[in-house]
A and B are shown apart, each in its own frame.
Chain A
Amino acid sequence: MALETLIESLPSLFDGLLITLLLTAFGILLGTTLGIVLATGRSYASRPLAYLILIYEKVLRGIPLLVLFFLIYFGLPQIGINFNALTAAVLGLGLRSSAYQAQIYRGAINSIPEGQIHAAYSLGMNKLKAIRHVIMPQMLRLSIPGWSNEFTILLKDTSLAFGIGVIELMRQGRYIQVRDPDLVLVVFLLIALIFFLLVFTANKILRYVEKKYQMAGYQTEAHR
């Protein structure tokens, strides 16, 4: 009978999984796009702008994700900016991730020898072209390990959207627990397993991508 209720609850876990994946996908998309812009800005933009970016990064890396969620979801409406919980979660995940990713990309940019950009200039490229055709492709390749790391962190962090009421995996788990308290341990172990498999698979795929795009002569290393 416990098994029956468990099976009955599987569809709701599946719904939760979809939301978790959605949060991950949009969160990482926002984080990556913004992260690249920020890193490029910090390396190549004017001083005041670079400094502003630095402050943005420090602030976002210094605030817990849960607090960021609360600020966006509960705080902003006070000045008339309203987001639904899902959007607020994507924003929180993405903004915070962008601050971490910017650091990864900047590290990558810094490790590209200066000669590369000089060589690009001497071919007649302007700054924008040099960044786009010479720096970017190398920077992105060098960033794969760091990005992979960030991806799995963000995937796990989506669980915090629970805190502002997004109905993702964790929240679905709680619903099942309320319906049938006996199932609680099994359900959360099952959710743990789902996350584990997601992280595991993501790591495998990303490791493959990393190998495939590795530049000969460049060693890269992942950090958390």
Chain B
Amino acid sequence: MAMLEVKDIYKAYGNVEVLKGVSFTMEKEETKVIIGPSGTGKSTLLRCINQLSLPNKGQVWLDGEEITNPKTNINKIREKIGFVFQDFNLFNHLTALRNVSIGLEKVKRIEKEAAQTRAMQELTRVGLEAQASQYPAQLSGGQKQRVGIARALAMDPDVILFDEPTSALDPELIGDVLDVMKSLAGKVAMLVVTHEMGFARNVADEIIFMEGGVIVEQGPPKEMFTNAKLARTREFLGRIGALYGEEETGG
């Protein structure tokens, strides 16, 4: 049984159908990268997985539990699904340390001291122990995003969803964030929406190409980059590779 199973998800906003039947599975500690043009429904798909948006149809299963079932306690489930946002969404009123510990304190109800010790470990893991007492406004974009990752990690999630984690960053700050993500590969399952082809090629176990609300093609990076079955996939990968200079980052 797969750890995460997404089954035939449909989502519409008004009359606009955004997701038109998306299915895939993820195993423990697997890394998958979703690529696709913007407006395709990648963010919507991630939000449907942790139920920030409710799908109109379809199911999501995590560890054998159907989380799309209205009877499941979604807050309990969300503890197990980390989310890393494109624009960080760090809590503005909390220091880096407390951004990481607040979930432990208020959701997992771990005592403050223990929570902060754990939070410090996660900050160290992303290379930010020196910034622990700084507020989000005092951090660079790259640092903010690493705090965002530490915040997700601290909850010991089964899977972390990344929604374009580096696309709001200045180019010179992207590398640090990708390095942290790379260091997590194989330790926690990651589902990453990104345009960073270097990361996709070198870190992902599988690449999912989405367009127009459906999965067009998926496969291991080697196959996808060298001989994708569909012309559309080849064309998109070619264009995006040229755009984002796949050699330099995340390699």
Complex A–B touching at CB under 8 A:
no
Which B residues are closer than 8 A to A by beta carbons?
A: none
Which A residues are closer than 8 A to B by beta carbons?
A: none
